[in-house]
Amino acid sequence: GTALGASAAERGRYFGAAIAAYKLSDSTYVGILNREFNSVTAENEMKWDATEPSQNNFSYTNADRIVSHAQSRGMAIRGHALVWHSQQPGWAQNMSGSALRSAMVNHITQVATKYRGRIHSWDVVNEAFADGSGGGRRDSNLQRTGNDWIEVAFRTARSADPNAKLCYNDYNTDGINAKSTGIYNMVQDFKSRGVPIDCVGFQSHLTNSVPSDYQANLQRFANLGVDVQITELDISGSNQANVYSTVTRACLAVSRCNGITVWGIRDSDSWRTGQNPLLFDSSGNKKAAYTSTLNAL
Ligand code: XIL
């Protein structure tokens, strides 16, 4: 193929990028976006602080810019993220208990209803598990409302947008480890009790290597009856091109891997400042990592 999105589509997958609304006036940026990608994620514009800056006052201007660009170009949209401990608006950060639980439910209902029918997959809950060997939940104001907050979030999202795939999304879950196993156990429990969950997102913020059991980890989740998606891929280091192709081949080898999203377009767009972890250099030229990824598709 000659472009990432078109080549992925031939394999029944999408190839997406995280984008920023304020960059949609940059013609180099938009040129690459429109040529190479068939899915987008709002890098920040659909987060809680952006969409509900004061309680029950919703602000969709920047999210709408991304949605209309994607829709006019036939790109899929990954919604990111309905609830997360980070990038909460100030008013929510210090809330707790039943007031916070109600605010969470209202937030999910409002945002998922606003974009109902237009979102391919929603990251309903982002980063709710702790790093390290415990395999348990991360402490947060949301977690302190009760362990059932995640299933309440998923049920609420399902009611608001019944056709979106509902994903749990996290990082440091790329191999089989205590954190990914904690999430695996939650998904298995949700499936056994009929809690709606359709997909698991693996952020895959990688540094020069990928765990040898990456594909096996994706496959064990797929075997639970959920789709898997690579949601925020970026890879630093001298082995970058090889690791990009390994990740791409792993997704293609798992039939329930729906697609790959890179977390930005050019190195200068990356949140990992100075690490050059993306597929295009800061001038918008294709890197070796681009070619190895395209060749793997
Ligand atoms: C990052 C954005 O790229 C930055 O612009 C922002 O300042 C902080 O958040 N995990 C996630 C993403 O789920 O939402 C984060 O995005 C990167 C880590």
From the candidates 43, 52, 151, 232, which is the catalytic residue? 232
Catalytic site residue 127?
A: yes
CA of 171, closest atom in ligand 1: 10
**Which of 140, 232, 262 to probe ligand 1 with, by most ligand atoms within 8 A of CB?**
232
What residue owns the CA closest to ligand 1's atom 15?
43
Residue 45 CA to ligand 1 centre (angstroms):
11
What residue owns the CA closest to ligand 1's atom 13?
126
Classify the phi-psi angles of 156: left when phi > 0, otherwise alpha if psi is within -120 to 50, otherwise beta: alpha
Q: Residue for token digits 């970058």?
A: 240
Residue 192 CA to ligand 1 centre (angstroms):
32
Predicted local confidence at residue 11, as pLDDT? 98
Predicted local confidence at residue 56, as pLDDT? 98
On whether the pTM is more than 0.95, the answer is yes
Whole-number Å distance between alpha carbons of 161 and 147: 23
pLDDT beneath 50: ranges in the chain: none
Catalytic site residue 232?
A: yes
Beta bridge partners of 170: 202
Residue 262 CA to ligand 1 centre (angstroms):
12
CA of 80, closest atom in ligand 1: 14
Residue 13 CA to ligand 1 centre (angstroms):
24
CA of 271, closest atom in ligand 1: 3
What residue owns the CA closest to ligand 1's atom 16?
43
> In 115-255, where does DSSP find H-type helix?
149-160, 178-193, 214-222, 240-253
Predicted local confidence at residue 1, as pLDDT? 86
Which residues line ligand 1 at a C-beta cut-off of 6 Å? 43-44, 126, 203, 232, 271
Q: What is the dihedral of CA 126, 65, 113, 37, to 10 degrees?
A: -60
For the four alpha carbons of 150, 70, 51 and 102, in that order, the dihedral sign comes to negative
**Contact residues for 294 (Cβ-Cβ < 8 A; gap 6+):** 1, 3, 4, 7
- Let me know: does 97 contact 104? Beta carbons within 8 Å: no
**Which of 40, 43, 266, 270 to probe ligand 1 with, by most ligand atoms within 8 A of CB?**
43
In whole angstroms, how far apart are CA 252 and each of 196, 205, 243?
25, 19, 14
Strand pairing category for 257-262 and 14-19: parallel
- HSE of 20, CA atoms in CB hemisphere, 13 A: 13
- HSE of 69, CA atoms in CB hemisphere, 13 A: 25
103-131 residue pLDDT tens = 999 999 999 999 999 999 999 999 999 99
Residue 80 CA to ligand 1 centre (angstroms):
10
- Let me know: does 167 contact 196? Beta carbons within 8 Å: no
Predicted local confidence at residue 217, as pLDDT? 98
Query: Coil, strand or helix: which one is 258?
Result: strand
Amino acid identity, residue 127?
Answer: E
Whole-number Å distance between alpha carbons of 24 and 206: 27
**Which of 22, 40, 44 to probe ligand 1 with, by most ligand atoms within 8 A of CB?**
44
How many residues are present in the chain?
297
